[in-house]
Structures are given as structure tokens and as C-alpha cells.
Amino acid sequence: MIKFATNEYSDEEIYSILVPEIREWFKKKFGTFTPPQRYAVKEIHDGKNILISSPTGSGKTLSAFLSAINELLLLAKKGELEDKIYVLYVSPLKALNNDIERNLKEPLREIYEEYDIEEEIRIAVRTGDTSAKERQKQMRKAPHILITTPESLAIILNAPRFSKKLREIRWIIIDEVHALADNKRGSHLSLSLERLVYNMEKEPIRIGLSATIHPMKEIAKFLVGNGRDCLIVDVSFLKKMDLKVISPVDDLIYTPANVLSEKLYKLLYELIKKHRTTLIFTNTRSATERVVFHLKSRFKELEGKIEAHHGSLSRDVRLSVEERLKKGELKCVVSSTSLELGIDIGYIDLVILLGSPKSVTRALQRIGRSGHFLHEVSKGRIVVLDRDDLVECVVLAKEAREGRLDRVNIPHNALDVLAQHIVGMAIEKKWKVDEALKVIRKAYPYKNLPKRDLMKLLHYLAGEYEELEDRKVYGKIWFDEVDEMFGRRGKMARPIYYLNTGTIPDEVAIKVYTIDRHYVGKVEEPFAERLKRGDIFVLAGNTYEYVRSGEMRIFVVPRPDASPTIPSWFSEQLPLSFDLAMEISKFRRKVKEKIRKGSVVAYLMKEYDIDEKTAKAIEGYFREQMHFFVPNDKEIFVEKFEKDGMRYLVFHTLIGRRANEALSRIFAYRITKKHRLNVRIAITDNGFAIIYPSWKEDIEDEELTALFSTKNMKEDLKNALKDTEMLKRRFRHVATRSLLILKNYLGHEMSISRQQRNASILFKVVNDIDKNFPALKETYREILEDAMDIENAIKFVRDIEKGKVKVTIKNSFLPSPFSFHIVAIGATDVVLMEDRKEMIKEMHKEVMEMIKCMK
């Protein structure tokens, strides 16, 4: 059973279970227990699994470790510590591992200094960076507490000798569970844990630490796996929060761009000046760089006191920034996502979110980085730069203050991750398929794995798609389909597993700079290859014109007012969550109704805690849109207009980006099929556009209405994705994870360009030989369920079918205010006619006509 912990133990009750040395040390150092400690320590002591969510500065680490350290000290006193691992700590970040090591060593040192205890409690870190010498040391004398990452855990599971030291682990602590549960690293870890536990006689206690996330019960199930109990301690609400939305200017429409950025940096500077240390979050790495650059160059006293921190910077640079933050040497640090997780960065008294964080959960995690102590207030300011952002953030802030979080999405049955573990399992021993299936299904993300999927995967891993003579080469495992047994094949499986395990794909290779050498972002190689001078494309929410290419980089100029001419199918942007989108839809209806009756300003100021000018800006924006139509939770709006020789069908479907990614392609596919044309799509959080040349026929209103049908949505989406660059790109990731493309093989490392080329060849071949090839099946699943949100797209369309939501279609001469962003900076892609021969004939005709016109 998964339930919330209800017993809050007193100091005395907790002290009574502690050994005297720890009791005295704790009394002297802290005096009293913090709330998470009161709920957790005793329960862990009693052998219960527990998931803890509590704010920074609430003694989280000791909540998790105290009970285990207590037991270890008891053994140490008696001289009974054995040469094995008692505590396994796993976190997604290497940086966090070092923090934890330090945070454990210090209390132990203090206790050992005070008392005369014979045996030492050994703590060691093991990651990809651990030297061979250190690993040998750990082999000779196993640490009692092992600190590691999910990837290193998967590797030591298969280490012939070291894995034996893992057989009697008593406590497993998973830190930052929320950062793992919603992605494939989490799937990977969940399987590692079940494989680990399978080899143990006694089930270890599982302890999870997580940021606020919803629903906690799902995260708890993820932590403990299927069929185990877990208690949840959620004290994340303990810390007070002061959250406000602010705009740098009074008028977000007509203020010229240069004035807006002038005012923005002025505002940031004022905020930084008034606080001791400010942490600014932007949504992209390029924005991070831009903000640092402008603040440094505008305000000389910030020179040397402001730094960037993001994933593209080298490890040394990041470490030095973290170090300087801790020492209080920096006034401000600007980050994209890298500082969201709990690395120790010292005292932060203000968090600024530049632009919408797109989900309430993320907003709370980011703001939670401020106020180091439990009694302090977390202070957050969301700075908005346009009107869509303003509306979104005003709703988001209210949801955050009221603690309504968006739901987490845990991926299910990822076959590529499973493929790695099957190889790992096969190296270990011979398995009966049913026995293996039982272990796999214990992992929460695989609780419903169909046996036929596993069989198909085994079939593929055994290389059985090849003729008999070639299986030796392709097969990574041996599989007997009749007896349903599998095991190791050959000597290559082990090195392949060691060198290629993991879930994070290599990054794309081509960097994008402006001509004056400012970093903008990255694009995929196949995209860069097909760029032609003058092409305009969207990258990270801005439009750029391609100028020229250089060595592994391309150069562009910003073209903020131009429409994209070439689709860029990758998006660095954070997606707006479905739940928050629903709330904004409701908000739109409320505002519209109130404006009809008079004014909404007073209501907004009161209900949403914003000042008058912000409220007026919202009212103004809605009034303009009311000349067209204000789409909301009960009525959606489809807008048709022509612009620059193209027809636009703009669907105002406020259902979050992931659901719009799915819906836009489904509708586009239905249109391409009927009208025999290729279309472009542009997608944002708030809706999408389907775009095609004006000379093609108009699409009648009845047909647009008929698009809203739940029939075959999944199939239509899969058809829309066929042969797209997006599919190929995801396939590369899946093929790498499935060990079909080996990044490391026979001592060679495959470059990203090669990976890309080889994956595209593999894609072609696999598509031709077997549509149900596991890697292909997983690619579609990943796109439909993880990258996109097919379920909510279906749910939304079903509401329309049932008449719960109405559709209004209007022709207009110019785009409505709500569609500006969709048209200008929506992430773009193309959906092609299904009949490729027909399509090529059309393209041929087009080219020949253009050539004729030239004469």
C-alpha cells in the first residue's frame, strides 16, 4: 500500500532509537529534529520504504541517512562491520554525489573525533569519472556507503566480482527521484534496482528524495516498484513563498524591442542590486548567454560578479561557478536548467524566472532554490516579455501559490532501455523468459509489459532477423524460442554492454552563431546541410536568416519579423503542460465574460495579485482579440486567412505544446490525404497553424469541423510521422539505446555525424524489412507518448465530439492577436502527401513551371 505518513514522532521517540554517540552529537549540533526527520527517521528504522518531499534547508539528507548511519555506527562500535556495501545512494548528478559525500563525511568526522570508535565507516563515490585505481581500492575493501549514478549502477551490476558486494545492501537511497521518474533514465534505473534486488535474499529499504511533484503516489510507486509498500512524507508546503509576476514596461505591444530590452536589463539590475545573491533562470542556453552578456556590458560593477551556468559549459567552468556561489563571491548567476536540481549552491535570496517556466511544478522547483533555511521565505519573480507570456504567468503564479501542480508523466515499456538490461541480464546467467519477465514487471515503468513484446525483443537481440550463418555477428544474446530460455552469446556482449549502457543521446553537432559571433543554439546536421542562403527558420523561439556555413557551425542574422521558409523540426523550448493549459483556457473564458459585463481590472488585481497596469495590459489584449473571437475551455476557434501567398488555418487549441504537436500532425495528415498536397505546420503551446500555398484549393468549413474526429488518431499520427526528420532523429536515439548503433565498439568511438548517417541507413533498412522491429516500435511510442501527448490530444477531441467544447470557424483578412505567435515563431515542420510518387510528380511539375516562368 502507498499511503501518506501520519505519525510525527517527538524528539524523545527518535532519540530513543539512536545510539548514544549520535544522540549526543545531534543534540549538540541541531537540538531538535526537523519535520521531515520527525516523519521519516523512525519509520525507516522500522524497515519501511519512504518517499520524502521537503524544501531546501529542511535536513533532507539526514532524514534519509540518519537511520542507516545509526545502524552502521552500532556495528562499528561492536567491531562487526563487514566488508560489503550497506547503503547504496543513487543520484542523477555527479555534482550532487560529491556534495553528499562531503555532507556525510563531516558528521562522521565530528562523531569520530568525539568518541573512540574502533572501526571506520567507509564512504566512496563511483561514477564514470572514478579512476581504475580507486575502483580497485573499492574492490579490495568495499565501501559501506556507496554513492553512485544510475549509469554506473547498471555497470557495476554486471561487474563479475564487485557485484557480489552488492548482495546484502540494506538501504537504497534515490535522490532527486522527480528528475528521473519522467524520463528514460528513470526507466533504466528502475530495471537496475529490480535486477539488484533479484540477487538479494532480503529486500532492502528504499528511501526516495523528491522535489514537490504531482501525484506523489505515482512517484512512490516508481520508487518502490510493483507490489511493495511505501510511506509518503510530503512537507514541501512548509516553506512560505512570495511569488509575483512583473513586466519591465507598461505596454508590452507597442514598446520598441530595443526599449523593451533596455528596460528589462534595468529591471534585472535593480533586483540584483537589492538582493544578496540572485539566481536567474532562462528557458534556453542561448538566452542564458545573452542575459549574462548584456548585464555585464551594461553594468560595469557586475563585471566578475555574474556568471552563466548551463549544460554546454565545461565541467570545470560549472564547478568554479558553483564554488564561487557557495563562497558568496557572485551577485548573480544565470542558468537554463542545470541549477534546477539540488546541488549545493549556498545562499540565494531571490530567484528570477525570465519568461514562463511552462509548468507549475518547474516554477516551484526553481523558486524553491531560494531561501536556504526552512523558516525563510522563497522569493520568486517571473518577468514577462510578451502578452501571451503575461497571461500564462499570471495564471501559473496563482496555481503555484495555491499548490496545484501539473501531473508527471512516467514513460512506460521503453523497449530500448529494456534491450540494454536484457543484454546485461544475459551476461549474468541463463534465464527462463517467465522468470525474467517477473523481474522486469516488478519495475513500475514495466508493470504491464506484454510478454509478446519481450519475446520480440529477445528475438531481435538474438539476431534472428538474419539468416542463420549471420546470427553470430548480429546476436548479442542466445535465445531458445521453444524452451523460452535466453543467455549470453560470445565474448562481445560484455564490452558492448559496459561501453554503451546509458540513455542520454549525444547532442546534435552544428552550432549556430550570429554573424557577430553570438551563440544562438544548435541544429541537426541534416538540417544544416539543406539550408540555402536566405532561408528563414525558427530556433528556440526566434527567427533567423541563414547566411553561410563554417566548420561544424552556421552563421545567421536575426530576422524577428520574417516568416519561416524552412521547417526546423527540433525545438529547444520547454513545453507548456496540459494541466496549466486547461487552467489558462478557463481563465480566458472568465476574463472574456467579465469584460463583456464591464471591466476585469479590479477582479484580476484581487484574484491574481497583480498591479493595475498589468491587469490593464491583460484586459487590453483580450479586448483586441474580442474583435475576432476569444477561444477558451468551452469554445475553440479556427481562423482562416491568407498572407504572403500562403493560406493559413490557425487552430486555437490551448492544450499544451505536446498535445498540439500530436494534434497538428493528425489534422495536417488528414488534409494532405484529401487534397493531395504537402503542408507546413507551425506549433506553439497555445495552438497550431496548417500552412499551404494560396494557389491550392480552399478548405471548406464543414471539412475543418470534420477534422475533429477521434477516429484513427494514433494511426494518422504515425502516418504523418513516416519519413520525417523528427522520426529519423528519434530513431537515432532509440537505435543507440537499443545497442543497434554502438557509440563505442572494438575500441572505436563513433562520431555523432557517423551515428547520424548510420542511423539513417539503418532506419531505411529496418523500415523495409520489418515494421514491428522493436527499435522502430519504440521510436513511435517515444514520440507519441513522451515527446508528444497523444492521450490528451484524443481526450480533447473527444470533448469536441461530445459537444462539450464547440468549434467556431472564421475567415479574416488579417491574423488575430492570439495567432501572432503561432504564425511567427511556432516550431515548424512539414507533413507530406502519403503517396510519395505522386508527391514527386507534383514537385516536378512545380519546378518545371517555375523554370518555364523564368524565361
Nearest CA to 339 out of 296, 279, 293 is that of: 279
Instruction: Note whether 65 and 73 are within 8 A (CB).
Output: no
Closest CB to other proteins among residues 163, 565: 565
Residues sharing a CB contact under 8 Å with residue 663, sequence separation 6 or more, in sequence order: 651, 653, 655, 688, 793, 796, 797
Vertex 66: Cα angle to 65 and 71 (nearest 5):
100
Least Å distance, CB 465 to other proteins, is: 6
SS (H, E, C) 799-845: HHHCCCCEEEEEECCCCCHHHHHHHHHCEEEEECCCCHHHHHHHHHH
- On whether the CB atoms of residues 125 and 137 are closer than 8 A, the answer is no
- Comparing CA positions, the residue from 295, 337, 291, 299 lying closest to residue 318 is 337
| Strand ranges, E, within 599-654 | 635-643, 646-652
Cell matching residue 552: 561544424
Q: CA–CA distance from 435 to each of 440, 451, 454 (Å)?
A: 9, 11, 12
φ/ψ of residue 700, rounded to 5 = -65, 155
What's the one-letter identity of residue 681? I
**Between residues 533 and 711, which has the closer beta carbon with respect to other proteins?**
533
Strand partners, 431: 486
Distances (CA, A) of 687 to 660, 690, 701, 720, 825: 6, 10, 18, 18, 12
Tell me how far apart the alpha carbons of residues 419 and 486 are, in angstroms, rounded to a whole number.
Answer: 13
DSSP states of 336-398: SSTTSS--------EEEEES--SSHHHHHHHHTTS-SSTTSPEEEEEEP-SHHHHHHHHHHHH
Output the smallest distance, CB 790 to other proteins, in A.
24
Minimum gap (Å) between residue 513 Cβ and other proteins? 22
**In this complex, which beta carbon is closest to other proteins, that of residue 64 or of residue 830?**
830
Give min distance, CB of 486 to other proteins, in A.
18
Dihedral sign (CA 653, 656, 658, 661): positive
Rounded least distance, CB 715 to other proteins, Å: 21
Do residues 637 and 808 lie in contact, with contact meaning Cβ atoms separated by under 8 Å?
Answer: yes
Task: Report the candidate in 352, 358, 350 with the shortest Cα–Cα distance to residue 389.
Answer: 358
**Which of 86/537 has CB closer to other proteins?**
537
Pull the grid cell for residue 432: 527462463
Q: How far apart are CA 325 and CA 7, in angstroms?
A: 38
Task: Compare residues 122 and 680 and give the one whose CB is closer to other proteins.
Answer: 680
Nearer to other proteins, 377 or 769 (CB): 769
Is the separation of the CB atoms in 717 and 662 below 8 Å? yes
**Nearest C-alpha neighbor of 834 from the set 678, 647, 729:** 678
Nearer to other proteins, 183 or 767 (CB): 767
Q: How far is the CB of 850 from other proteins (least distance, A)?
A: 4
Alpha-carbon distance values, 74 to 203, 309, 390 (Å): 21, 42, 57
Least distance CB 183 / other proteins (angstroms): 25
Residues 748, 742: Cα–Cα separation, whole Å: 9
For residue 214, which phi and psi values (nearest 5 degrees)?
-130, 140
Q: Give the nearer residue to other proteins in terms of CB position, either 582 or 750.
A: 750
Nine-digit cell string for 290: 545573452
504 vs 847, which CB is nearer to other proteins?
847
Q: Tell me which amino acid residue 5 is.
A: A
Which residue, 257 or 843, is less far from other proteins as judged by CB? 843
- Nearer residue to other proteins within complex by CB, 242 or 464: 464
The minimum distance between CB 498 and other proteins, in angstroms, equals 14
Nearest distance, CB of residue 432 and other proteins, angstroms: 26
* Distance of closest approach, residue 691 Cβ to other proteins, in angstroms: 7
| Residue closer to other proteins, measured from CB, 442 or 729 | 729
Output 133 or 532, the one with its CB closest to other proteins. 532
Least distance CB 803 / other proteins (angstroms): 34
State whether residue 26 is helix, strand or coil.
helix
Q: Hey, what's the cell of 263?
A: 528596460
Nearest distance from residue 315's CB to other proteins, in Å? 26
> Buried (b) or exposed (e) across 458-473, using 16+ Cβ within 10 A?
bebbbbeeeeeeebee
CA within 13 Å, CB half, 594: 17
**Measured from the CB of residue 473, what is the shortest distance to other proteins in angstroms?**
7
Task: Give the nearest distance from C-beta 573 to other proteins in angstroms.
Answer: 19
CB of 523 to other proteins, least distance (A): 14
- Report the residue number, 106 or 846, with the smaller CB distance to other proteins: 846
Q: Least CB distance from residue 439 to other proteins, whole Å?
A: 26
φ, ψ of residue 548 to 5 degrees: the values are -160, 170
List alpha helices for 225-347, DSSP H.
257-274, 285-298, 315-326
Q: Which three cell numbers stand for residue 678?
A: 504537402
Q: Which residue has the cell 552563421?
A: 555
Q: Judged by CB, which is closer to other proteins: 95, or 556?
A: 556
Q: Which is nearer to other proteins, 362 or 729 (CB)?
A: 729
**Residue 844 CB, nearest approach to other proteins (Å):** 5
- Residue 838 CB, shortest distance to other proteins, in Å, is 9
C-alpha cell at position 495: 564490452
Residue 313 or 762: the one with the smaller Cβ distance to other proteins is: 762
β-pairing, 50-53 with 230-234?
parallel
Who contacts 662 (Cβ-Cβ below 8 Å, separation ≥6)? 713, 717, 784, 788, 789, 790, 793
Toward other proteins, which CB reaches closer, 198 or 465?
465
Binding site for other proteins (CB under 8 A): 465-467, 470, 473-474, 530, 532, 565-567, 646, 678-680, 691-693, 739-746, 748, 750, 754, 757-759, 761-762, 764-766, 768-769, 828, 830, 832, 836-837, 839-844, 846-848, 850-851, 854
